[in-house]
Homo-oligomer: A and B are copies of this chain.
Amino acid sequence: MQVKKEEIRQTIIDVATNEFMRMGYENVSMRVIAYKANTTIGNIYHYFKNKEVLLQTILIPVFDNIENLMKQHFENEIKCPLTQKEALYYAEHLEEFFDKSELRGFLDKRIVIILKLESSSLLERKEKFIEELQEHLQQHIRMKDDAHYSKIVIDVLADCLKHVLIEHDNINDAKAEFIKLFRLFCTGFIGQMK
């Protein structure tokens, strides 16, 4: 019943990623991961020192990627800051720009895991990431953020991502719906009213 090493390792990661996204890291037991990955708890520990390391294996690449994307995005912003008018334009035509924009990096189950993470050693890195995100958003919104809008906006982002990723297995459907939602928050609920 021996399977190629990488295969089962990847299955464990895939199963854990899905479960962590849906249920939250804290609420997923090694038992169910083992069961859904058709292996045993002991074998998961063969590949990953502990639950924490399994989480890190899943999240660290996406941390690296997203931090990179944000750095690029930040640099572009400084060169040519968006005006409100431009922002509106982008929001309206997001379909065209999505894949080229740094937003593409967010449409990822693992981002949901990060944004909902409540314990683990990665919390620190999460906080740093959230802070950077907040700063970016403040750049965009360009205002004193005394109401901590940006913090909320990030939670909202997490909810939207979780929602579209759970509802739509097909990545294109997910993208389409995410874009709709993103636009909704850009222009506001009242903008939707007739």
Q: Which residues of A contact B (CB under 8 A)?
A: 23, 26-27, 82-84, 87-88, 91, 118, 137, 140-143, 147-149, 151-153, 155-156, 159-160, 163, 167, 177, 180-181, 184-194
Contacts and interface: CB of A to CB of B under 8 A. Distances in A.
Contacts of A152: 156, 159-160, 163, 181, 184
Given A140-B189, A185-B188, A189-B185, A194 B156 contact: no
5 contacts: A23-B118, A147-B184, A149-B192, A152-B156, A188-B188
Contact of A190 (B151, B156, B180, B186): B186
Nearest to A90: B190
Contact of A180 (B82, B149, B156, B188): B149
Contacts of A160: 152
Contact of A147 (B88, B153, B181): B181
A191 B180 CA distance: 17
Instruction: Tell me how many chains of this kind the complex includes.
Output: 4
A181 to B, nearest CB: 6
Contacts of A185: 185, 188-189
A60 to B, nearest CB: 25
B190 A153 contact: no
Contact of A141 (B87, B91, B148, B192): B192
Contacts of A26: 27
A187 B186 contact: no
Contacts of A180: 147, 149
Given A188-B186, A188-B188, A193 B148 contact: no
A165 to B, nearest CB: 12
Contacts of A137: 189
A19 to B, nearest CB: 13
